[in-house]
Amino acid sequence: MRQEIDLRSDTLTKPTPAMRTAMAEAEVGDAVIDIDPTVERLEHLTAEILGKEAAVFMPSGSMTNQVAVRVHCDRGSEFICEQDCHIYQYEQGAFASLSGLVAKTIPGQGGVLKPEHLRGQVRASNDHFVRTRLLCLENTHNRGGGRILPQSDVIESCQWAKSEGLATHLDGARLWNAAAATGKSEAELAAPFDSVSVCFSKGLGAPVGSALVGSRDFIEQARRTRKLFGGGMRQAGIIAAGALYAIENHRDRLVEDHEHAKQLGEVFSSHEGFSIRGDCIDTNIVAVEIAPNLGTADSWVARLEEQGVRCFAISDQAIRFVTHLDIHSG
């Protein structure tokens, strides 16, 4: 039988045998009315790795992001974000539906918002205007092709936000990849932000879950909002054990995924009519732009699938490949 190579997303990873064992043997409790000890260990370790006071475990990164923006903002206020970021593009406008918020989107450079893009973007104090409350960044940037935000820009942007009285949130679903690629610790990358969301079910290979980190007071409010959004889980240690195993064992190997992504990018770059979005591959996402004379993204997705290679079209003329721990070279 032909072997299928599924590069649609790093969420396709299956739990490793050792991870399955950890999940099967997890110590559990009712995490809503009491404490689940495995969830508690995961939250403590995640907060420690990211250099924050506390963390709360949730089912998804969309929930951690939406809880964060709700806690940071009052209803009828506004947050600033890059126009192609996940919170704006891929979460159904939940910030409006659930929390009554407005997003002010700003085009970046390949997904990267630089300090000069932000200056002058805070609304004046006026009864006619929405109030600006929050700056959201994304690292790595999904639609930017897994782009890593330059840390100097991050620091300057967050300093600007603080000077304007804004809170700061990082959608760090793939922050683990940024740390592996740059050699900077997750804590260093997270330090400029008031809150950070990280995902366990992408490159790290856990089956379920994300975490939101921040100050103890912020996380206390986040737990209440998680309950409001239906995110309270009972014997969640079974899934938390997979995430705990992932952050203890799978972070260092992310560099293998990055190398595989670069190899894939080199293949496309060597053929006329194909180019890499942003002209570089920072981590495990390869966004390939296709010249119109070669056909559409949808046509190439179909052609590749016929050969056993699966990917996604992300625009009329671009397809995306994501390497992960279930993809091997050779």
Q: What is the pLDDT of residues 52-100, one digit of tens each?
A: 999 999 999 999 999 999 999 999 999 999 999 999 999 999 999 999 9
Query: pTM for the full model?
Result: 0.95
Q: With residue 151 as reference, give the H or E element that holds it.
A: helix 151-163
Alpha-carbon distances, residue 130 vs 66, 69, 98, 120, 223 (angstroms): 19, 15, 17, 15, 27
Distance CA 189, CA 192 (A): 7
Question: What is the average pLDDT value for the chain, to the nearest integer?
Answer: 95
Domain definitions of the chain by residue range: 17-249, 252-322
Q: What is the dihedral of CA 121, 124, 126, 130, to 10 degrees?
A: 20
For 212-264, the pLDDT digits (tens) are 999 999 999 999 999 999 999 999 999 999 999 999 999 999 999 999 999 99
Average pLDDT rounded to a whole number, residues 148-177: 97
What residues have CB less than 8 Å from 221, skipping those under 6 apart? 71
Q: What angle do CA 313, 319, 322 make, to 5 degrees?
A: 105
The dihedrals phi and psi of 329, each to the nearest 5 degrees, come to: -80, 165
Domain covering 17-249, topology: Aspartate Aminotransferase; domain 2 (3.40.640)
Give the CATH superfamily of 252-322: Aspartate Aminotransferase, domain 1 (3.90.1150.10)
The dihedrals phi and psi of 310, each to the nearest 5 degrees, come to: -105, 135
Does residue 2 have a pLDDT over 70?
Answer: no
Residue with tokens 């947050």: 79
Q: Report which DSSP code applies to 149.
A: P
Number of CB atoms found within 10 A of residue 94's CB:
18
